[in-house]
Amino acid sequence: MSRAMELRPVLILILSCTAAAAQVLQFLKPPSAVVGQTVTLYCSFPLFRNPEKITVHWWKDGDREFLSSKQDSRREFQIESKASAILRIHNVRFGDAGVYYCRVQGEHTGNGTGKRLDVSASPHPLKIIPKFSADGFLTCICKTSAFYPDNYTIAWRKNGQNVGTGIKTSRAKNTEGLYEVTSYLVETQPVHTGTVYVCEVSHTTLKDPTRTNYTVDIPDRSISESFPWWIYICIAISSLLLIIIVVVICCKCCKRKGPKGNSQTRQCVRCYEPIPMNSICKEQGLRKDNHSTPAVNPRAGRNVNGTASKHKKHRKKERGLECP
């Protein structure tokens, strides 16, 4: 680039000196462009005495009008010296390709020789899409960005090894005239987590091939198939219901157990007291609180009498609860 900058004034001087009167020459830097770059078209003409009187117009082959920066702000027009003018195009697009001409008017008048601007586009970046079929087989899809020209090579690698079979590649031309390539790698064997697939594309626009990869990451199928996600929700809901039922039953049981109750909270707490303590309490209660249930003789409980035993049961429970 710096060498080109050094050479340019010399080149212009030579061109201006050797050119026959009114001969207008054109050249281009860089000689070919990639989409997104900036290119400069030069127009060199015989030396003008008054640079302010130089008028230069540019047009593109096929166009009916001269180019202007009003139509497209990416274009920059300059009179560089008494013998040269430039058209600079920033952020070149594929549609900018074509033959450009300059026309000089003033002390000298003439048309340029014309210069072709070729624009190429890079297939970078690539996109890789994994697709699993219903029966679990993997197809890797590699898509290029729209590129030009169309000569390219595509290669697949699996865990570092070149893949030669099971590849289908198709090329399409888009509305802009650029090419888009889609390549399919169809796996015929089950894949495992950790397998790396690499898609690699070479093209004239790229110094080194561009590549992208996909690393297989599938959850353990046996577990995920036997326990779908909703099973866990069902388990959670049923556990919650079970807890609610237990709590409701327990509270109802506490209320029934404490008919003469002092305070309900105290009775509920007692509901959870361990059985061994209750049994001690029962015995204490039997001795202490005989007057609270005077109608029933403790000995009567041993009789084979349905109602009596029922009463006894109830009484025992009450005593157990009321034990301090």
Ligand X SMILES: *[C@@H]1O[C@H](CO)[C@@H](O)[C@H](O)[C@H]1NC(C)=O
What are the residues binding ligand X (CB under 6 A)? 103, 109-111, 196, 198, 213
Q: How far is CA 56 from CA 43, 101, 128, 146, 154, in A?
A: 9, 10, 49, 35, 46
| DSSP letter for each residue of 214-236 | EE-----HHHHHHS-HHHHHHHH
Tell me how far, at minimum, the Cβ of 103 lies from ligand X, in Å: 6
Tell me whether residue 39 or residue 198 sits nearer to ligand X (CB atom).
Answer: 198
Q: Cα separation of 201 and 102, whole Å?
A: 38
Tell me how far, at minimum, the Cβ of 133 lies from ligand X, in Å: 24
Q: How far is CA 152 from CA 45, 118, 147, 149, 310, in A?
A: 40, 17, 9, 8, 95
Tell me how far, at minimum, the Cβ of 104 lies from ligand X, in Å: 9
Tell me how far, at minimum, the Cβ of 177 lies from ligand X, in Å: 26
Tell me how far, at minimum, the Cβ of 110 lies from ligand X, in Å: 5
Tell me whether residue 211 or residue 266 sits nearer to ligand X (CB atom).
Answer: 211
Q: Cα separation of 298 and 303, whole Å?
A: 10
Tell me how far, at minimum, the Cβ of 212 lies from ligand X, in Å: 6
Tell me whether residue 11 or residue 216 sits nearer to ligand X (CB atom).
Answer: 216
Tell me whether residue 93 or residue 108 sits nearer to ligand X (CB atom).
Answer: 108
Largest Cα separation within the chain, whole Å, is 143
Q: Cα separation of 269 and 278, whole Å?
A: 13
Tell me whether residue 64 or residue 299 sits nearer to ligand X (CB atom).
Answer: 64
Tell me whether residue 199 or residue 281 sits nearer to ligand X (CB atom).
Answer: 199
List beta partners, residue 86: 42, 78
List beta partners, residue 112: 24
